[in-house]
Amino acid sequence: CRASGDEKPAKFQPPPKPVIIDKQKQRAERRFLSPEFIPPRGRTDPLKYYMERKDMIQRRRVFNIPEFYVGSVLAVTTADPYANNKSNRFVGICIQRGGKGLGATFVLRNVIEDQGVEVCYELYSPRIQAIEVLKLEKRLDDNLMYLRDALPEYSTFDVNMKPVSHLDHEEIPVNKLQVRMKPKPWSKRWERPKYNIKGIKFELPEIKMKEAQKWSQPWLEFDMLREYDTSKIEEKIWKEVNEGLKK
């Protein structure tokens, strides 16, 4: 404030208006468009994808498909005619999300009684009755297939685990866990640069790691024909999906 010593009294300055940070508006800033909405690169008529998206939006209006990523723990209840109570609940970590459009799938993995089990579910299948996200988080990779060759403790999740609450405006936590593997041989040679896996703690000797780099293809990142810029497509589809869901 002004030091008292001025001859003229200073003009009354109103105090600065308080800035209210509306957390709800911050939530709207984080957009998540499910990866199956983005059409693959190709020469098919966009009308086909438009019609599929209409059906996907229609299904989403009736049934809530939550936002989740590869590495989050989900619990899925499906309708099964052969299960008791006709419904079947499976808890697992999502290791892969594949497929585009209505055939989008995700694979959940869990270890039950020392037996690793994986189930591939279709997101838009009418047999799915509920999808709950028990733990929303991301991992360092897009594809956690290496969990099959990792120690079973990294794939075990309690079937009766309580959902971990996640506040809307916060960013999705990235779990930087480095997984320890079973001794080789593995189902795929995960140390090779083509898989580009960051989430494994390789305990292999240096010679093996150097030998794996022989299969690196450093020219691939500069290949312009492989680029697929989805930002504009995503904007359009985001608007379309939002309008469809609001109705």
Contacts of residue 222, defined as CB under 8 A and 6 or more positions apart, other chains included, come to: none
Q: Which of residues 83 and 209 has its CB atom nearest to other proteins in the complex? A: 83
Query: Quick one: 57 or 128, whose CB is closer to other proteins?
Result: 128
Where along the sequence are the contacts to other proteins (CB under 8 A)?
A: 78, 80, 82-83, 88, 90, 96, 98, 105, 112-122, 125, 127, 142-143, 145, 148, 185, 188, 194-196
Shortest reach from residue 247's CB to other proteins, in Å: 30
Give, in order, the Cα–Cα distances in Å from 7 to each of 3, 4, 10: 11, 9, 9
Least CB distance to other proteins at residue 24 (A) = 35
**Min. distance of Cβ 90 from other proteins in angstroms?**
7
Least separation in angstroms between residue 115's CB and other proteins is 5
Closest to other proteins by CB, 16 or 40 = 40
Nearest CA-CA partner of 109 in 69, 137, 53, 148:
148
Nearer to other proteins, 34 or 143 (CB): 143
Which CB atom, from 7 or from 153, has the smaller least distance to other proteins? 153
Nearer to other proteins, 59 or 148 (CB): 148
Q: How far apart are CA 181 and CA 88, in angstroms?
A: 31
Smallest distance, other proteins to C-beta of residue 91, A: 11
Closer of 81 and 205 to other proteins (Cβ): 81
d(CA 49, CA 101): 7
